[in-house]
Amino acid sequence: MKKLVTILLSAILLLYVVSCGNDNKSGGESKNEYADVGAIEVLNKVWDSYKDEEKFPVIGGDTSEDNITTDTPGKFDIGDSAALDTTLGFPAADIDKIDQAASVIHMMNANTFTCGAFHVKDAGDVDAICTSIKDNIMQRQWICGFPEKLVIATVGNNVVSSFGETEIIDGFKEKLAAAYESSEIVCDAPIE
């Protein structure tokens, strides 16, 4: 009787271990694994994955003395909804849905490369924010140059949008996917 109970319990334990192993098929990370990762952490991890010869001159953050950075991403003050909109393309109407923002922008021309990361308070708002950012950027009237491509991705509760020259945007998209395997590309489209 003891052998039968032991075999039965062993079989149940084995089934449990096998079923748990199949629940997570993304190489050890789940979609929500990065829910609490901040916007600046997302951009820093991607930017740090660039080799020195792949990097280009960038500034990060907003124009405040506390947040502006050179050669690295920086925090962006979410209290200035107009700057978030004009600089990063984040719609002012959605400002209450985020609690953090960060940026990294080509130092010579923002239309060559501009990237913003936005940490969304409620995961249920991520899809709507992606759509709002896409609509906001696609409907712009561009001055002093014209970005070629827009890519919007999600990393946990972060929305990452980037627009600029196709080659630079595609390179950033590849680095983002390598840094965060569970990231999802929501938009990959030319800007017309």
Contact 49, 179 (CB under 8 A): yes
* pLDDT confidence band for 36 (50 / 70 / 90): confident
The residue-averaged pLDDT of 27-48 equals: 79
Give the H or E element holding residue 126: helix 126-138
**What was the pLDDT predicted at 6?**
57
Instruction: At 2, list the tokens.
Output: 């003891």
* pLDDT confidence band for 5 (50 / 70 / 90): low
Q: Quick one: the chain helix, strand, coil %, rounded to 5?
A: 45, 25, 35
Strand partners of residue 28:
none
- What is the chain's Cα-based Rg? 21
**What was the pLDDT predicted at 145?**
76
The residue-averaged pLDDT of 42-62 equals: 96
Q: Quick one: DSSP state of residue 84?
A: I
* pLDDT confidence band for 146 (50 / 70 / 90): confident
- Reply yes or no on whether the pLDDT at 18 is more than 80: no
Give the H or E element holding residue 110: none
* pLDDT confidence band for 176 (50 / 70 / 90): very high
Burial class (CB in 10 A: 0-12, 13-18, 19+), 53: exposed
pTM: 0.82
Instruction: Note the pLDDT tens digit of each residue in 60-87.
Output: 999 899 999 999 999 999 999 999 999 9
Contact 119, 39 (CB under 8 A): yes
